[in-house]
Chain A
Amino acid sequence: MTNRILVLMLLAASFHSCAQNNTTMEKSIKDIYKTVQHRDQAIEYRANIQVGACSFEFLINDVPVQSYFENANGTFNVSAPFNDAILASGIQRWKLILYPAYKDRVQTEVLSPNILIDIEVEGLRHTAESVRTVYGPVSLITTPVKENDKGEEVFEHAGAPVAIYEGTFEAKVPYKLSGWSESKDLSKEDQEQLLVEVLRATQAYANCFKSKDTVGVTNLVYNKEVEYQQANFCGKEDSEEQWKYYLENFNLPDAIVQPIENYKMRIYGDGRLVTLERNDFPYIGEPVVRINYMEGNRKMISYLFATFHKPKGSDKLEIIR
């Protein structure tokens, strides 16, 4: 209830925020490729993740790459690109947090003995004709096991409420991004005040889709896109495609931008990033900016990523991822 009231209070300010962004019309997502460097050394790092029988969050350099909080009678599989979590060459940190699985929409109390973990990272080079693995794959973790009383191999921390694994790997990238490296440490700020600010900024982003304000979106995500497209060595077509992904969200059939609700504020990036995530099953961990729409007879959801930081010397939240 509190959240809903807060959202209503912030509405006016948000519209205002979106209108202000009209002043930066010259920026274009489609043109960012022109600033992209080192395309000849392009590499796409991916985390190949297979995790089963639990919920989990996987982070690289304290930036969320993937999480899963749905019913878990099986394995979750994804190959997740994460170049945008790498700011520069060198040692990268990874962290895996395992939570008890959801079963029939209810979270179990402890970690199952049947947990399966298999996470590796690899670097790919895409060409028009093929894809080649140019780095790795490097295994970060496979299921740590122990023998139970019956001599069977089970997950080593079966029965625990949570398990956290951390480690490092080395990645080479030709670029260097400033990202959030010099941004303000948000963990030291007044968290209630920060939440109000994050809500306001998030709502501003959502409102752009509501009012079909493409310029507003461009302004809000521009810095993020500059870094993202550099990290992913985007060419002309890629830049256009990036812009297409935004545009798609303006033209969804029967689109209804959802109110920001059921959220939880999460701080990442060693205290320098903040975002709102859904905390209701089965959407736990997903972004809160959401558009319901129809695809044929199917009810679909499109959600939009928005992770903020306060750049050095600024007290204003900006989308950086």
Chain B
Amino acid sequence: MADQNKQIHIAPLVMKGQSFEQNHRVLTLTKAEAFYATLSDLKDQLFSKYVPGTSTPEVDTEKRDEVPSLTEGYKDISWMWIVDPSADNIGQGGHNPTFSKGIKQGLVRVSFPKFLEGGGVLWLEPFAEQPSGSVANGLFVRAIGTPEILGVEWTDLQGNNINSNEVNFGDTVLLKVYTVGLYWDDIIIQLKDLDYLSMVDDPDDLPAYERNGIGTPKAPIAAGQKTPPKVYKSLTRRVKYAKYRPSSKNNYASAINDYLGTLATDNENHYVQIAEVEIYIDEYWVEDGGNSLKIFPTINNRRINKEKAFQQDFVLVKNKKQVVQSKLTPTGNVPILVNDNEFNLAAFHHCLYRAITITLPDKTVDGKKVPSRPVTLFEENSEKPELLTIRDFEVIAGDTGNLKKITLDVVGVENAEADCVTTPIHLQKTIVIESHPEKDIKRHPKEPEDNRWKMEGNGSADIGIFKQEGKTTREVRWLVYPMNVYTNEGDDNKLIFDARFPYNRADIDMAGMGSLKLPFIFRYFWLSDAVAGTPYVVHVATCRYDNRVKVIPYPDVEWSLAFNFSDPEDGKKSRITLASDSIQTEKRHQPLRKWVSIGDRQFGIGLTAKFNGEDEREYSSDYVLKLKEKFKTLVKLIDNINNLFNPNNANASEEDKEKTRQFLERKKGQIAEREAQEKKDLGKQKELLKDAVRRYRGTDNDKQEEREKKTIRSRQRSIRRANAKLARTAIGFDIIWPNVEGGLSWKLVQTNDNQEEQYRNKVGLMFTGAVEFSPLLGASIYLDFLALVQRLHPIAYAIIAIADLTISQMGDGSKIIVELRGTGILGGKFEGFYNKLTGENSFNKEDRDENNMPVAKVTGDFTVSLKVHIKIAQKKNLIFVTVEGSGEVELEAVATWKARAAIDANDKGVYANIFGNFDGIKILGKGKVSGKVSGRRAADVPENNKDASTLGGSMGFNVEFEAMPKQEEELITTIQLGGN
């Protein structure tokens, strides 16, 4: 019978304003109207002259006489014309009694009911004995119409109108929303309350509070709140149709009457387009609108996009305190009903598959084979939304070694020729390799010989070191190999093949660096998305689902970087502890390091890459420093050192001196330019300060005095700012050379089997490592007093004032020591692993997820003390350096520069944001003792100290000077720890 059915295919006769979509076989009408259809066999014979999209179709004039004979064979066919078709019901059911059997006129005319306008479809299928339910035979029809909300009506669950009636908290009532042109579309209902006792009240929103059983809100009530979170303010419901029950209290009865319709199966009743929404009168609404509510709905729809309020259609809650129980008590108002699924036309195709999965080879863990769990890329009707559409699959592989055998399974294939509506059919064509990165396809290769590769290009591989052109003429180009496929062509269920990552093995020309070439592997130094290889694209097609599976290869390179930078005398350079890799149990060996002298320090670096399933290669030869562009962190460090490096240092090698000289030369121009401007600014500020001091001395009342004092402070601050950069060159640094030791490895990893589904098709970037800084940056800083004096630095002013000296009295300057000593402890150790994709890390993942915290934080203090010793024969100058800031908690002897570094990762790699603040330092002159005869000090009234000026010409005791102002926390710098 199926064969007979197969002969009966419906063919729409598409008129003006109608359209037919062949693939899904949907006839779309702009409004509810009549449409015509015939059978495929008859269409060619009787309607060859009919032009689709024109007038009412008619049989070709010359063929009219042939109609009876041609339709005779179909005289007993039945017609199925049903509402709400589903994959389950369209293969069942019977003849619609409103149709005549057969197709006497050569075509059927069908009227589309007005009350079913909207997004829903009806199903029309002619059949002999049993409907097939296949789109090959039938036809979907829909009429779009113009969407409109006609009105609403409140009823009880039995359908009795309760408009304007009183209800209780806890009741379940029905809100009927009458619509036009919205069948199978969604409407959005928002409930509001207009306090019926108040004339001026604005409507309150009445949100949906879902329950997990009676009395248990789904989302817990936060501390200090009286209701669960108000996440959902509206309810979304699907518009369907239902029997219309007239009521005299229905405010929209006359409008509704215009759109009523009947069903073939029930011509006794009238039907209407409607959404019947069960509403729970929620007791939490007391908190939203009080215990007297006038509840009315506002209705909207995405196509209408204009909210319509029905303030006249309400139910009342009057001063209720008691809560009753009803149908919705256990659930509350549910924002979206899960069973209101989207209508899926694809479901009507019987040429289909149910899922696509990919399985990687089994793993061996501790000598035992652990089967690999398939990764689902697509699944019909999946509860996981991400599986409803096809996902890509990422895989890590080498090019000649470490190939990954991919098993692609197409699950539940049913692609019999009879079910196929396309040409060519899908049988034996469901799985087609569409594109791949290899040269050709080789079926059933005999391992291992077929796994060999050959080179295209010149000569042999020479990888591992920089090459100078001329010395080595041969280069490796692309490697050429076939795509190994282990399944037969035409296998619709399975495809097994080897995935490779085709490394580009041509060396990298370094632009601007002469003939210098980098080994090709540095192309894959930073393992961002950019290193993804050309994907394998497999077309997996049936009538129901047509997907392209992309298997994207990523390089299997694993980089290991070990470095240290230390004083050779510390004896620390001999050993670097590399991070242990907790994910990969394989033991790694110590990368080789090349030691390079920088000043009296040794800089050691070990860089290795392991790829293609082969042994590690070492890249730590003398070219490594030239890679510093790639090692941003280290460059930062080296730059710091360069900046501070003293070319006259007796211990420095000639080479280092030269490097520094060149560096300074490069910077010279810009430094000169900057300093000229700064000097100009400083001069201006200096004059302004002098003016301010003059005015201050001339004041005769407190108010004026206070004002001038403020001006002086402000000028002092300006000078400090203008001086900030100048001061730098006036400061002598004794670097506490940072001892940095670290090992960091990074590679791409497949997500493991236990990972959440959403990540299982992806590869993640895994960092493993430990870096120890002791300290990251450390310095003892000594102010060069004379340089400061020459630059009229504010600290120098302060000291001069205290010491009551003139510059000429200072001799060679050795009488006065101003030592600003900073000892840095910004540093620490951080270690662990971090998977950039899944966020898995060893730094308290939960905390990070919940608080959006960075991967790791490093904090440190840089303590700064200002030591002031003035050495004039037989005299003592008593100076106190006060610390602003944290003294409230405990007595602080030194000012602290507090720093914190937040370490996180972005698309460019791992970075550290370093924030800092400073307590602030003030200099306070306390007194002076001469010749052990007598001492002098101000009486204890420092607050009212008139001599705050740093230019005081007399005995400047109790001078108060803001030497280094307090600085609130700010971002100091961002250090990128890697990246392209």
Contacts and interface: CB of A to CB of B under 8 A. Distances in A.
Given A50-B867, A73-B882, A301 B876 contact: no
Nearest to B861: A152
Interface residues of A, number: 64
B873 A126 contact: yes
A77 B934 contact: no
A73 B932 contact: no
Interface stretch (B258-266, B496-504, B939-947): B939-947
A298 B867 contact: no
Nearest to A79: B869
A53 B866 CA distance: 14
Nearest first, the 5 closest Cβ-Cβ pairs linking A and B are A52-B893, A116-B893, A53-B893, A79-B869, A74-B882
Contacts of A132: 814
A174 to B, nearest CB: 17
Contacts of A196: none
Interface in A88-106: 101, 103
A107 B674 CA distance: 50
Interface string B867-894: 1111101111111111100010011111
B938 interface: yes
B865 interface: yes
A283 B938 CA distance: 11
A232 B936 CA distance: 21
A305 interface: yes
Nearest to B946: A297
Given A77-B867, A116-B894, A130 B812 contact: yes
Given A54-B891, A101-B891, A301 B937 contact: yes
B231 interface: no
Interface residues of B, number: 52
Contact of A129 (B811, B883, B892, B933): B811
9 contacts: A52-B893, A52-B894, A74-B921, A75-B883, A76-B880, A112-B893, A300-B939, A303-B937, A321-B932
Contacts of B878: 76-78
B955 interface: yes
A268 interface: no
Contact of B933 (A44, A298, A304): A304
A299 B939 contact: yes
Contacts of A73: 882-883, 887, 891-892
Contact of A77 (B881, B930, B946): B881
B876 A299 contact: no
B474 interface: no
Contact of B814 (A114, A130, A295): A130
B573 interface: no
Interface of A: 44, 46, 48, 50-54, 66, 70, 72-81, 84, 101, 103, 108, 112-116, 118, 124, 126, 129-133, 221, 228, 232, 238, 241-242, 245-246, 248-249, 282-283, 286-287, 292, 295-305, 321
B684 interface: no
Contact of A299 (B815, B865, B938): B938
B445 interface: no
Contacts, number: 170
A228 B931 CA distance: 9
Contacts of A130: 811-812, 814
A77 B890 contact: no
A142 B584 CA distance: 49
Contacts of B890: 112-114
Contacts of B958: 298
Contacts of B924: 74
A164 to B, nearest CB: 19
Contact of A305 (B815, B921, B934): B934
Nearest to B952: A296
A194 B893 CA distance: 39
B933 A246 contact: yes
Contacts of A131: 811-812, 814-815, 871
Contact of A114 (B892, B926, B945): B892
A242 B877 CA distance: 17
Contact of B939 (A66, A232, A292, A296): A292
Given A300-B939, A305-B932, 6 more contacts: A54-B891, A73-B891, A116-B865, A116-B893, A295-B954, A300-B938
Contacts of A70: 880, 926
Contact of A44 (B817, B873, B930): B873
B935 interface: yes
A74 B880 contact: yes
Interface-central residue, A51, A115, A300, by most chain B CB under 10 Å: A300
Contacts of A246: 933-934
Contact of B932 (A46, A79, A228): A228
Contacts of A44: 873-874
A177 to B, nearest CB: 14
